Structure 1
Amino acid sequence: MPLLRQVIVLQSLRELGRLAPDLARNRAERSLEASLQSLREASLTTLGMELDTLTLFDARSVVRLFAHAEQARILAHLMDERARTLAEHGDFVGALSDTVYAGQLLACSRQRFGVLRDAGAADALERELPKPPT
């Protein structure tokens, strides 16, 4: 069973890697609601959970739902993208709140899974996500 979970998590990472350029493009080119909808769809696709529902709970409780540190990293990435979207549309309070939540997710992930597994999650995300344009 652990191997099956790992395969599912890797598939989620690949899906996030596939969606990441579209999310960034949507943030720049679309309305706030359309950009947020893209993030909701990405959460459903990658994590199988609704983004709006996950953010109703504290970071520690959300991280307890996950079987792997990579899942917390994916959600933290989505929250960071949502913070950027909100900031670009002038909602700096919401952006700060989402940035803090993303940091809390990562801290709780390290606490639950340990630093070594969390570092492995960071390496996996680095491999799967495309490099940002420079």
Structure 2
Amino acid sequence: MPSLRHAFLLNAVRELGRSVPDIARTRASWDACLERIREACTTTLGMEYDTLARFDARSVVSLFTHPEQARILARLVDERARLCEAHGRYADALADSVYAGQLLMCSRARFGLPRDARAADVLEREAGTPSPLPPLEE
């Protein structure tokens, strides 16, 4: 049974890796990009993004059985923060960035530093690093 869970999680991380470039490409369109983020959350975690984002980070992380799940959601929240920043919604971008950090902090508190660090390695290897933000215009 643990190997089945591991295979499911690895598949979720790989699916996120396939979704992230599409999300980045559609950042110019608010609706299209937000829809991609929602689809990626449903595909990878089996839960709706908007529902998860309504709750505090500790409650959301308590739903997960592995730190990879918390990291996947944190990555999607970070992508939404990048979308908000690209569209000049700086308060929303800041709120999403803080929420992503809270998810990671709660993941470390719940699963422990070694497991969370391994989850970070898996996510970086399979999904890649986030694309850099373009410089701010003056």
- Report the counterpart of residue 135 of structure 2 in structure 1: none
The amino acid that maps onto 1:11 is N
Aligned with 2:47: secondary structure? coil
1:1-134 superposed matches below 5 A: 1-27=1-27, 29=28, 31-130=29-128
Counterpart amino acid of 2:59? S
In structure 2, the gaps of 5 or more residues are 133-138
Count residues with an aligned counterpart.
132
User: Against the structure 1 CA distance between its residues 3 and 112, is the aligned structure 2 distance closer, same or farther, given a 3 Å change threshold?
Assistant: same
* Contact in 1 for aligned 2:77/2:99 (Cα 8 Å): yes
Q: Percent identity?
A: 62
How far apart are the structure 1 equivalents of 2:115 and 2:53?
Answer: 23
Q: Which stretches of structure 1, 4 residues or more, deviate above 2 A after TM superposition?
A: 130-134
Relative to the length of structure 1, the TM-score reads 0.94
1:31-51 Cα shifts (integer Å, max 9, x gaps): 212211110011001111000
Question: Taking structure 1 as reference, are residues 131 and 87 closer, same or farther at Cα in structure 2, changes over 3 Å only?
Answer: closer
How far apart are 1:130 and its partner, in Å? Answer: 3.5
Report the Cα offset of residue 133 of structure 1. Answer: 6.6
Separation of aligned partners in 1, 2:86 and 2:18 = 23
TM-score with structure 2 length normalisation?
0.91
1:75 deviates by 0.3
Q: Which runs of 5+ in 1 are unaligned?
A: none
